[in-house]
Amino acid sequence: MKTVIKYPILFKAHPGRCEQPKDVLVPYLHEHEVPEVSKAETEIVFKSEEYTLRQYDGRLFSKVGSPGSASADACFGHAFEKEETRGRPRSIPTIRTDKAYIRYAGQALDNLAYYRLYLDGGEKARETMLWPGLTPDYRSHQGGPRNRDEFTFQGLEGKIRDIDADQFHAWREEHASEADRLLLVDGSYWIETTPPAICVTHGGRMIIELAHLPNWLDHDLARQYFPLTARQEALDYAKRAQAITEQSYEAIRDFTDWTNFMFEDNPLFSFDHAAYSTKRTTFLLGGDMARVMTGNPAVEENIGTTRARAVLAAREAARACGADYRTWPDAADMVHDVTEAWKMTGRKPGWAVIPPKRHDFGTMICERAADMVDSLTISLSARGTWTPSP
């Protein structure tokens, strides 16, 4: 079935009266032929009271809704969300009164767009300053858009020139890859999803709940993700983190105890949470450090050439991250240097969110990443030229 989806697109272009090219971040309509299958060709592999995951062709899918439904319109009709909503992982209902957050199809691309801008030197405030500019007091009677979803690239074509074609087409390729995640099952849309995970998050006290593993660099480093089979490890982390929060006296709230959800040990639910966590920590802290170095060249001298080189490599790796966590670059060789550099520079706030007590919590995050990378299994692909040792 032909389906039109709004995805974010980010590219440089030259507005007619400006001296320099500017970043353009607008929705772009993508048309895609979504394949159709029957329920008989799929299998239920996860089910709680209000939530189901199906397996098809070795992939996990969650339901979006029938064509024209409110959930489908929300999924396909919004390229952007508010910052606090955009960065939130997609929750999994654990009790009947819970409601799963409706996933909009471009969520990962939306997050990646803003983080790439940040790595290139933009401030967080730039989210409301990207050309065409938005102002908080826009009113409909002024005839202007009230949110970024109302902008279209097609409406700008007569105003801009010198579009960065490589950047434009790279984003169009990412649109096609994201649209390939869609499936129609007996007439309803389903979307390929990442594994369900135990999410430990900070909300004054540590909270344990179920969510899907984000396909972007979740900026909140207090949030950590564990496979469903690693519940004890998740609880151990929650206890360690709770002990250094400002409300260390509060009890941990474990919402996974409130439900009976059905799942069998399934390879599709597994993910290397140590590798995922260390990559995320390294790329976020490395990105923050790279910006500090750009603003203050003396920092490079203070942390040393080796650490500075690792910080810049982490920034480049973060910039290369796409909307599939399985393809993110390796970070094992950078972890120690990046975390040491971050601890040496006053731990300035940046894109990465580290809760109070920030000094203690940041130290714990760095130590945890270093310990994890030291315990990662080293794997090598066999080569035909290798011979057994005598």
Residues in Cβ contact with 275 at an 8 Å cutoff, skipping those fewer than 6 apart:
376
- Do residues 338 and 285 make contact, with C-beta atoms less than 8 angstroms apart? yes
Q: CB burial class (10 A; 0-12, 13-18, 19+) of residue 145?
A: middle
Mean pLDDT of 161-170: 93
Read off the pLDDT band of 106 (50, 70, 90).
very high
Instruction: DSSP for 249-290, please give it.
Output: TSPPEEGGGG---EE---GGG---HHHHHHHHHHHHHHHHHH
Residue 390 has pLDDT above 60, yes or no: no
In the prediction, which pLDDT does 95 show?
Answer: 64
In the prediction, which pLDDT does 336 show?
Answer: 97
Mean pLDDT of 366-379: 83
Cα(340)–Cα(311) distance, integer angstroms: 10
- Per-residue pLDDT tens over the stretch 251-274: 777 777 655 555 667 889 999 999
Residue 312 has pLDDT above 70, yes or no: yes
Residue 8 has pLDDT above 90, yes or no: yes
- Do residues 14 and 22 make contact, with C-beta atoms less than 8 angstroms apart? yes
In the prediction, which pLDDT does 257 show?
Answer: 67
Mean pLDDT of 1-16: 92
Cα(64)–Cα(90) distance, integer angstroms: 13
- What mean pLDDT, rounded, does the chain reach? 87
Mean pLDDT is lowest, of 1-10, 44-53, 352-361, 380-389, for 380-389
Mean pLDDT of 177-201: 95
- Per-residue pLDDT tens over the stretch 142-162: 555 667 888 888 878 888 889
CA angle 111–113–114, rounded 5-degree value: 70
Read off the pLDDT band of 378 (50, 70, 90).
low
Residue 383 has pLDDT above 50, yes or no: no
Q: Which residue has the higher pLDDT, 365 or 151?
A: 365
Read off the pLDDT band of 389 (50, 70, 90).
very low
Q: Which residue has the higher pLDDT, 259 or 179?
A: 179
Mean pLDDT of 74-96: 85
Q: Which residue has the higher pLDDT, 288 or 48?
A: 288
Mean pLDDT of 42-68: 91
Mean pLDDT of 200-218: 89
Closest CA to 202 of 164, 246, 171, 163: 246
In the prediction, which pLDDT does 386 show?
Answer: 47
Mean pLDDT of 243-249: 78
Residue 310 has pLDDT above 50, yes or no: yes
Backbone angles phi, psi at 353, to 5 degrees: -95, 120
In the prediction, which pLDDT does 311 show?
Answer: 97
User: Amino acid identity of 266?
Assistant: N
Mean pLDDT is lowest, of 132-136, 322-326, 342-346, for 132-136
Torsion sign, CA atoms 286, 84, 198, 321: negative
In the prediction, which pLDDT does 262 show?
Answer: 55
- Do residues 373 and 279 make contact, with C-beta atoms less than 8 angstroms apart? no
- Per-residue pLDDT tens over the stretch 316-340: 999 999 999 999 999 999 999 999 9
